[in-house]
Structure 1
Amino acid sequence: MQADGTRYTGLWQRLLISQPGQPVDTLTRVGWLQGPGLYVDLRQPPAIAGKVQASCLAELLPEEARLLAAQEGFAGSFHLAGDEAEWARAIDFQPAGLLGDRGRLEDHGDLLVEHGIEAVYIEHWQREPETKGAPCWAAQLLSEDDRLIMLVRCGDRFGYARERAVSLRPGECLLDRVGQASAAEARELVDCEIALGTVSAEGWRIDRSTLPWREGAMLLRPGAELAGGRLTMADMDAQGLPIARRLSLVKLEGEADFAQATRPLIPASAPSSIPVVDIAALGGADPAAEAAAVEALRRAAGDVGFLHVTGHGIAPAVTERLRAAAKAFFAQPEAAKMASYIGRSTNHRGYVPEGEEVFATGKRDRKEAFDLALDLPAGEVPAGHPMLGPNQWPELPGFREDIMAYYAAAFAVGRRLLRGFAQALGRPADSFDHLVGTPPSQLRLVHYPYDAEASDAPGIGAHTDYECFTLLLATGPGLEVMNAAGEWVDVPPVPGGLIVNIGDMMEFWSGGAFVATSHRVRKVAEERYSFPLFFALDYDVELAPLARNAEPIRTGEHLYAQTVQTFRYLKDRAERGEILLPETSRPLASFGQAVRHSLA
Structure 2
Amino acid sequence: MAAVVDCDQREKELKEFDESKAGVKGLADAGVTKLPSMFVHPPENLLNSSFPQDDEQYQKFRNLQLPVIDLSGFDNFERRKVIITDINKAAESWGFFQLVNHGIPLGLMEGIQKSIRGFHELPQKEKVKWYSSDFTQKVRFFSNFNLKVSTPAAWRDTLSCKVLEDPESFEAIPQVCRREVSEYIKHIDGVQEKLSELFSEALGLSSDYLASIGCFKSRSLECHYHPICPEPHLTMGGVKHSDLPFLTLLLQDGVGGLQVLHQNVWIDVPPMKGALIANIGDMMQVITNGKFKSVEHRVLMKPTVEPRISIACFLNTDDLQKSYGPIKELISENNPPIYSEVKFEEQIKKLYNL
What is the CA deviation profile of residues 437-485 of structure 1, one whole-angstrom value per residue up to 9, with x for unaligned ones? 88443211111000131134111100000001111111121001100x2
Partner of 1:471: 249
Question: Structure 2: how far apart are the matches of 1:327 and 1:427?
Answer: 41
Question: Structure 2: how far apart are the matches of 1:395 and 1:532?
Answer: 20
What is the CA deviation profile of residues 93-131 of structure 1, one whole-angstrom value per residue up to 9, with x for unaligned ones? xxxxxxxxxxxxxxxxxxxxxxxxxxxxxxxxxxxxxxx
More deviation, 369-378/435-444:
435-444
Q: Secondary structure at the match of 1:446?
A: strand
Report the Cα offset of residue 433 of structure 1. 1.4
Distance 1:344 1:357, change over 3 A: closer
Report the Cα offset of residue 392 of structure 1. 2.7
Question: Structure 2: how far apart are the matches of 1:315 and 1:390?
Answer: 21
Partner of 1:445: 223
Whichever of the two has the greater Rg, that structure is 1
Contact 1:340 1:392 in 2 (8 A): no
Partner of 1:542: 323
**Equivalent pairs, count:** 279
Distance 1:377 1:413, change over 3 A: closer
Distance 1:338 1:310, change over 3 A: same
Report the Cα offset of residue 563 of structure 1. 4.7
Partner of 2:88: 298
- The partner residue of 1:553 within 342, 351, 354 is 342
Report the Cα offset of residue 557 of structure 1. 3.6
1:334-413 equivalent positions in 2, closer than 5 A: 334-343=124-133, 346-352=136-142, 354-358=143-147, 362-373=151-162, 374=164, 376=166, 392-396=172-176, 399-413=177-191
Question: Structure 2: how far apart are the matches of 1:522 and 1:348?
Answer: 28
- The partner residue of 2:205 within 415, 427, 445 is 427
Q: Which amino acid is 1:479 matched to?
A: L
Q: Which amino acid is 2:258 matched to?
A: L
Contact 1:342 1:348 in 2 (8 A): no
- The partner residue of 1:529 within 309, 330, 334 is 309
Report the Cα offset of residue 375 of structure 1. 5.1
Report the Cα offset of residue 359 of structure 1. 9.2
Q: Which amino acid is 2:344 matched to?
A: T
Q: Which amino acid is 2:94 matched to?
A: V
- The partner residue of 1:520 within 295, 298, 304 is 298
Report the Cα offset of residue 344 of structure 1. 6.3
1:194-593 equivalent positions in 2, closer than 5 A: 272-282=64-74, 284=75, 286-343=76-133, 346-352=136-142, 354-358=143-147, 362-373=151-162, 374=164, 376=166, 392-396=172-176, 399-436=177-214, 439-475=217-253, 476-483=255-262, 485-526=263-304, 527-539=307-319, 540-546=321-327, 547=331, 548-549=336-337, 550-558=339-347, 560-565=348-353, 574=354
Distance 1:562 1:434, change over 3 A: same
Q: Which runs of 5+ in 1 are unaligned?
A: 1-270, 379-388, 566-573, 575-600
**Structure showing greater relative contact order (alpha-carbon pairs closer than 8 Å, 6 or more residues apart):** 2
Q: Secondary structure at the match of 1:506?
A: helix
Q: Secondary structure at the match of 1:432?
A: helix
Distance 1:276 1:447, change over 3 A: same
What is the CA deviation profile of residues 62-116 of structure 1, one whole-angstrom value per residue up to 9, with x for unaligned ones? xxxxxxxxxxxxxxxxxxxxxxxxxxxxxxxxxxxxxxxxxxxxxxxxxxxxxxx
Distance 1:281 1:330, change over 3 A: same
Q: Which amino acid is 1:478 matched to?
A: G
Question: Structure 2: how far apart are the matches of 1:438 and 1:510?
Answer: 15
Question: Structure 2: how far apart are the matches of 1:426 and 1:437?
Answer: 16
Question: Structure 2: how far apart are the matches of 1:563 and 1:394?
Answer: 27
Distance 1:357 1:391, change over 3 A: farther
Report the Cα offset of residue 524 of structure 1. 3.2
Question: Structure 2: how far apart are the matches of 1:279 and 1:420?
Answer: 10
Contact 2:216 2:315 in 1 (8 A): no
Contact 1:275 1:306 in 2 (8 A): yes
Q: Secondary structure at the match of 1:281?
A: coil
Report the Cα offset of residue 503 of structure 1. 0.8
Q: Which amino acid is 2:291 matched to?
A: A
Q: Which amino acid is 1:561 matched to?
A: K
Partner of 1:100: none
Q: TM-score, normalised by structure 1?
A: 0.44
Q: Which amino acid is 2:259 matched to?
A: E
Distance 1:360 1:417, change over 3 A: farther
Report the Cα offset of residue 514 of structure 1. 0.8
More deviation, 363-372/290-299:
363-372
Q: Which runs of 5+ in 2 are unaligned?
A: 1-62
Over aligned residue pairs, what C-alpha RMSD do you find? 2.4
Contact 2:250 2:310 in 1 (8 A): yes
Q: Secondary structure at the match of 1:342?
A: coil
Q: Secondary structure at the match of 2:98?
A: strand
Report the Cα offset of residue 319 of structure 1. 1.1
Distance 1:449 1:404, change over 3 A: same
